[in-house]
Amino acid sequence: MLIACWSVKGGSGTTVVSVSLALVLARSHPGGVLVADLAGDVPAALGVADPRDPGLTAWLAAGPSVPADALARLELDAGAGVSLLPRGTGPLSGGERVEVLAGLLAGDPRPVVADCGVLDADAPALAVAGAATQSLLITRACYLGLRRAATAPVRPSGVVLVSEAGRALGRDDVETVVGAPVRAEVAVDPAVARAVDAGMLASRLPRALDRALRPVVVARAA
Ligand SMILES: Nc1ncnc2c1ncn2[C@@H]1O[C@H](COP(=O)(O)OP(=O)(O)O)[C@@H](O)[C@H]1O
Ligand SMILES: [Mg+2]
């Protein structure tokens, strides 16, 4: 089971939602959960040291000659039942190798969450979103963001709405523009930002965020 999280604009909350989903899933999966970081901020959001290289960029660039277990050897234990496939430095290469990566992630026996970052028309991570069981757009109810979402290179299967007080647009508008259901609504909450800034998200996942994301986890079991 692969859950791909992506956005059309930086700063949407994609990394926070990705990491939080992995933490929620890890509680009910004693075999562990894998987070594939295609965007680069997951180590910081998990509060672990930035592993840099080698990461997914090196694995993709190495081509088909890499040993079969090379991907597993990149994994780092991030604690709390979460293993991390770090992005690494340099560009993510696209093409056939990223399709292979997407297939491996989708076929992993553990639940896998991929932080795909911002998806534009030529983002290699599009292949990962395309192979996902759930392809989740993370967005605020922001007119500029929703304009971009309407012309995104891929349709999500669901939306995680990061909701802020005082917005003119709401859940129904988001569903109409994006053409996919809102699977979870996560409030913008200073407690979340503080937990991220302190590297404490993994050890003290804010309760409201935990509760808000549970429907996504339940939806995949259905
Ligand atoms: N629900 C939330 N409440 C408050 N702040 C949030 C929330 N989600 C994310 N943030 C903050 O917003 C910023 C961007 O979040 P991030 O997950 O890095 O977005 P993206 O990965 O889409 O660029 C970070 O400072 C993060 O702490
Ligand atoms: Mg991010």
The predicted-structure confidence for 23-58, as pLDDT tens digits, reads as follows 999 999 999 999 999 999 999 999 999 888 899 999
- Which residue lies with its CA nearest to atom 25 of ligand 1? 193
Q: Is the peptide bond before 43 cis (omega within 30 degrees of 0)?
A: no
Please say if the pLDDT value at position 221 is more than 90: no
Q: Which of 5, 6, 9, 16 to mutate to test the pocket of ligand 1 (most atoms within 8 A of CB)?
A: 16
What is the whole-number distance in angstroms between the Cα of residue 41 and the centre of ligand 2? 5
| Beta bridge partners of residue 83, listed in sequence order | 34, 77
In the chain, the percentage of residues whose pLDDT exceeds 70 is 98
* pLDDT for the residue 68: 86
Domains in the chain: boundaries: 2-221
CA distance 8 to 139: 8
**72, two tokens:** 């597993």
What is the whole-number distance in angstroms between the Cα of residue 15 and the centre of ligand 2? 4
What is the whole-number distance in angstroms between the Cα of residue 43 and the centre of ligand 1? 14
* pLDDT for the residue 137: 98
Which strand (E) or helix (H) includes residue 174? Answer: helix 171-178
What is the whole-number distance in angstroms between the Cα of residue 98 and the centre of ligand 1? 26
> Residues enclosing ligand 1, CB less than 6 A?
7, 10-16, 41, 162, 186, 188-189, 192-193, 196
- Which residue lies with its CA nearest to atom 2 of ligand 1? 188
* pLDDT for the residue 98: 96
Distances in whole angstroms, Cα of residue 194 to Cα of each of 13, 191, 202: 14, 5, 12
Q: Domain 2-221 belongs to what architecture?
A: 3-Layer(aba) Sandwich (3.40)
Which strand (E) or helix (H) includes residue 14? Answer: helix 14-27
What is the whole-number distance in angstroms between the Cα of residue 136 and the centre of ligand 2? 14
Gyration radius of the chain's alpha carbons = 16
* pLDDT for the residue 219: 64
CA distance 113 to 95: 21
CA distance 211 to 15: 17
Tell me the pTM. 0.97
Q: What is the tens place of the pLDDT at every residue in 149-170?
A: 999 999 999 999 999 999 999 9
